[in-house]
Amino acid sequence: MKSPVVESIEYLAFAFLVWLARMLSFRMAGKVGRLLGSTGYYIINYRKKITLDNLAHSFPDLTEKERRSIAAGAYKSYGTVLVEGLWAGGQTKEELLKTCRFVNPEVMRKHLCNPHGLIFLSGHFGNWEFLASAFSLLLGQPISIIAQHQRNKRIDATLEAIRSRWGCKMIPMGISTREVFRTLQEGKVVAMLGDQSGPKEAVFINFFSRPAATHRGPAAFSLKSGTPIVMLFFVRQKDGVYDIHFEEVDRTGLDGYTEENVIELTRRHTAILEKYIRMYPEYWLWMHKRWKHTEYYESTLPTEQEA
């Protein structure tokens, strides 16, 4: 647990970044974000070893130079997400609507009136912080978003204020199950990120050819509620605007809530995420310990002699 002094210093640095971000134009916020990300990669070396190790396992056919280029791009992307997300907290509706555009909205619009609601699923890909601002404004309705609390309570309160500014409801991760089911039963929209490592008890799904502990929540919510899952991905263009791509997760043959169906639906949405990461690898959060339980899982598998 961090001391109050350390938390206060963290908050002051964060508050300065919030102030700075809101003084910038959208284009300049992106530039400052990329500079911040480059600082994290080249100077601070924040989780650099983890990032390069993840890339080495995921793209073994690439050269070291190519993987380092992806890593540097991922840090720039993360810095951009941070600064642009804070920038969004002080902008008008008109300014925010200029930052994103839908590419294939017909994929998800047919489900917006579904009596069982709709699950939007994404990952830490592109600018996920725009889910609560630009995306919900483009959608034309507020959404409920499952979000993880920050350990620093003052930073957490600031982020929640930014994310809920346009009417979106934050559902805390960990105590969200009942609230999510209630929201879906009311025919409303729930958004969540499903790409971070789950606990050892999670479903293990092959992700970049390695078993990764994956949260069962998205599949469980969908199967129990009869709710479709539409994945969305923010892809930044040369003009700085994000194209939002949608892809529905195929639920064919998965009738009812069973363990086998949960595993299969989780495998299907994980495969879509991997497809987009392979297309735009610099947009994903490679510094996350996504495969931290892989060794544990492999140790539980029967050996050839036991099999």
In tens, the pLDDT along 58-81 reads 999 999 999 999 999 999 999 999
Say if residues 233 and 207 touch (Cβ distance below 8 Å).
no
For residue 301, tell me if it sits in a domain: no
| Predicted confidence (pLDDT) per residue in 226-282, tens digit | 999 999 999 999 999 999 999 999 999 999 999 999 999 999 999 999 999 999 999
**Residue 283 contacts residue 80 (beta carbons within 8 Å):** no
Is residue 28 predicted with pLDDT exceeding 70?
Answer: yes
Assess whether pLDDT exceeds 80 at residue 175. no
pTM over 0.85: yes
- Structural domain contains residue 293: no
Is the pLDDT assigned to residue 1 strictly greater than 80? Answer: no
Give a yes or no: residue 298 inside a domain: no
Residue 291 has pLDDT above 80, yes or no: yes
Give the pLDDT score at 30.
97
C-alpha neighbours within 13 Å on the C-beta side of residue 165: 24
Question: Tell me, what's the pLDDT at 301?
Answer: 84
Q: Taking residues 123-128, report their average pLDDT.
A: 97
**207's tokens:** 């992700």
| Contacts of residue 301, Cβ cutoff 8 Å, sequence gap at least 6 | none
Q: Is residue 20 part of a domain?
A: yes
The structural domain count of the chain equals 1
> Which residue, 199, 135, 192, 193, is CA-closest to 166?
135
pLDDT given for residue 166 in this prediction: 93
List the domain range (segments joined by +) for residue 96.
Answer: 4-288
Q: Which helix (H) or strand (E) holds 305?
A: none
pLDDT at 2: 78
304 in a structural domain: no
Q: How far apart are the first and last CA of the chain?
A: 45
- Asked, for residue 297, whether it belongs to a domain, the answer is no
Is pLDDT larger for residue 3 or for residue 70? 70
Give tens-digit pLDDT for 136-150: 999 999 899 999 889
32 pLDDT band (50/70/90 cuts)?
very high
C-alpha distance from residue 128 to each of 166, 173, 244 (Å): 16, 16, 11
pLDDT value for 132: 93
CA distance 4 to 220: 39
Would you state the pLDDT for residue 33?
Answer: 97
pLDDT-based confidence at residue 304 (cuts at 50, 70, 90): low
- Assigned domain for 106 exists: yes
Quick check: 307 pLDDT over 60?
no
Q: What is the mean pLDDT of residues 279-297?
A: 97
